[in-house]
Amino acid sequence: MERRTSQLIYLLFAGGLFASSSYEILHFPTDARNLSLHNSASAYDGILLSNNPASLSKRAKGHTYSYFYIPGKIHFTGYQSISKSNLGIRSTKISIMNYGTFIDSETKNKSYAFDILIETGFKKEYKNITSIGISGGYLFSSIAGYQSQIIFSNFGIRSRLLRKRLGAGLSLENVGFLLKSYTNVKEPIPVLLRTAIYYEPRYIPLIINGDMVTYLGDGDSFYFSGGIELKPDSRLTLRLGSSSHRKGYITDDFSSDIFAGFSGGAGLNFTNMTLDIGFMNLGPAGFIVGFSMSKKVD
């Protein structure tokens, strides 16, 4: 295969952007806010269905469109719809990851690599303190002519104290089964347990988020991620994040290592729309850059 194909395979399987296995789209940030916080805000209220379905905000309602550009000419697009009912909050999302074109150096035949994920979720809140959420989805993955399909579910719970200034969440993610593997060797589904916490100081417009992710069945490997959101006023939010994955981007070059593994971004709130911009520094591999636009509905 061409050199570009080798680079894509490296990014997909050896680079490990967010996990230590394949099916990376299952771990990928849902929107630019989660990208800028290094996926560390799963305990705090979110307007989108993400890691912990119990953290869906009961104030959320509308549509969100997201786009990310990833090193290696990889493109991510996402759409999500949130609606309310008497029973709780419902969300449906579609995510597509396009990894590019593969060209066989001998036959010159072209093939494509992409993931398509469809997921729906539901969240119910009890006495304005504890929330329970569940989501389920289907993933179709195709890489250079090899295809795989899985069905998965996420289960989550989230509680808040101190007038909602402190919260904790627990989620069991990617529980499912393989419908079809890429080859005769079955790829394991990356089941994980996520514990999360957030805290809002009383006199500072700041939200501090932290997640610990443990991969079950993979030697119980784990990593930490953290992020902060500063809200100087009601229309602007500034974000910064990082994780223990940062050590994998270090090259012993001070000028490139100083910001390697960090993420950041900003959110702008308008009357009927929210625009979020985010980035993540992958060190020598480059930057993930993305934006999300959320449109509110009455």
Tell me: the pLDDT tens digits for 245-278? 887 777 777 667 788 889 999 999 998 899 999 9
Mean pLDDT of the chain: 87
If one counts the domains in the chain, the total is: 1
Tokens 């705090």 sit at which residue? 44
pLDDT at 1: 41
- Judge whether residue 68 has pLDDT over 90: yes
Which of the four pLDDT bands, split at 50, 70 and 90, describes residue 175? very high
pTM assigned to the model: 0.88
What does the pLDDT average to over 61-65? 91
pLDDT at 219: 60
Q: Give the percent of the chain with pLDDT over 70.
A: 90
CATH number of the domain bearing residue 245: 2.40.160.60
Which of the four pLDDT bands, split at 50, 70 and 90, describes residue 294? very high
| Residue range(s) defining the domain that contains residue 172 | 3-296
pLDDT at 18: 53
